[in-house]
Structure 1
Amino acid sequence: MTNVLTRAATIAAAMLFATTGAAVGATQASALPNATPTCHVADLNLAIGSPEGAAGSLYYPIQFTNTSTHTCALRGYPGVSVVDVRHRQIGTSAIRTGEPVNTVTLQPGDSVSAILRTNSAGVARGCRPTSTYVNVYPPNSFQAVQIPYHLRVCGAFEISPVDVGD
């Protein structure tokens, strides 16, 4: 599994220089293949990996694992927000990083991720209350998964598109 900080550095470089690196792992293409259906919530297990910090930011990988028996594809940005114990949204949803998107094809058992970034509490003012859940809509989905997770959003709240390599 590729280090989250390496992916975060790639994201930062892409944002600054509008370039992307080569991908490894799951298949990557420029458009959804006609024969490959989009992954739906029922096809996926969603999880949040361990955070890693760098330069005052915290990076959380949101992992999408194909748990179905068929191949499916994801393309674009997930929708992400934090919610409280009553399932009410805390603040605004994560904003997109502006990186180019790729289609990733997942065979059964394959995983891809999107990187969620916020600032460390000691660096940014305006921290939100700690969440009880992270609400995640897979790309091109109108159905969300609420992942139990205590996340404190401070300052920036950004999400990258799904991509291979994590």
Structure 2
Amino acid sequence: MFLHTRLFSRRGLTAALTAAAAALATAGVAESATATTTTTAQTSAGTRICAVKDLYLSMGRGEGAAGSLYQPIRFTNTSTSKCALRGYPGVSVLDTAHKQIGPAATRSGSPYGTVTLAPGHSASAIIRTTNGPVGGPCLRTGTYLRIYPPGSYTSTLVPTHWTTCSHLFQVGPINTEGTI
């Protein structure tokens, strides 16, 4: 299990800076050209699955809509080669003692494809709960999310405050569109 902070490792920082320099050099080329959804056949043709050591996980800005709260989990490729993610991450809320609060997130059921990440590029998975106790109580607020990238048996702890309410805690698949 790894604990991520807002700091990159040397390798991650080098990959991010290299990717940023390449992006500046090719201004006008959309990011979606390097972080795209592909078919499984293309992925099996040589793109490896992203391992936890290849990824920097962070939380995006949370938003509310129609009685729900949404927050993206960002998966950034910090390796020096492209890698792929496919499916749903495992997500659970932990307290300061790293004890789980409530059940793990359920899958939203949305369709998904394989997302290939170039070095320094990101994709996300959206987590969702209700905006307060609508159909049930709120659990106590956690201080970490334990996240298993799709296909991984190794988790990462990401510091964030998260409160699950009304027995609703969902996660969407890894994607580049920001949908649950």
- Asked if TM exceeds 0.5, the reply is yes
How far off its partner does 1:30 sit? 2.3
From 141, 145, 150, the equivalent of 1:139 is 150
Q: What is the correspondence of 1:49-128 to structure 2 with a 5 Å cutoff?
A: 49-128=60-139
How far off its partner does 1:71 sit? 0.5
Structure number with the higher helix fraction is 2
Q: Measure the CA separation in 1 of the matches of 2:104 and 2:79.
A: 28
Match of 1:28 in 2: 37
From 142, 160, 165, the equivalent of 2:172 is 160
* Letter matched to residue 174 of structure 2: V
Instruction: Detail structure 1 runs of 4+ shifted over 3 Å in the superposition.
Output: none
**What is the total number of aligned residue pairs between the two structures?**
143
String of CA shifts for 1:93-146, please: whole Å, max 9, x gaps.
000011112101000011000000000115342211100101110000001110
* Letter matched to residue 39 of structure 2: S
5+ residue gaps, structure 1, are: 1-23
Q: Measure the CA separation in 1 of the matches of 2:140 and 2:133.
A: 15
Q: Measure the CA separation in 1 of the matches of 2:135 and 2:82.
A: 41
CA RMSD of the aligned region, Å? 1.3
How far off its partner does 1:34 sit? 2.9
Between the aligned residues of both structures, percent identity stands at 50
Q: Measure the CA separation in 1 of the matches of 2:60 and 2:36.
A: 22
Rg comparison, structure with higher value: 2
String of CA shifts for 1:61-115, please: whole Å, max 9, x gaps.
0000001101100000000000111111111000001111210100001100000
5+ residue gaps, structure 2, are: 1-30
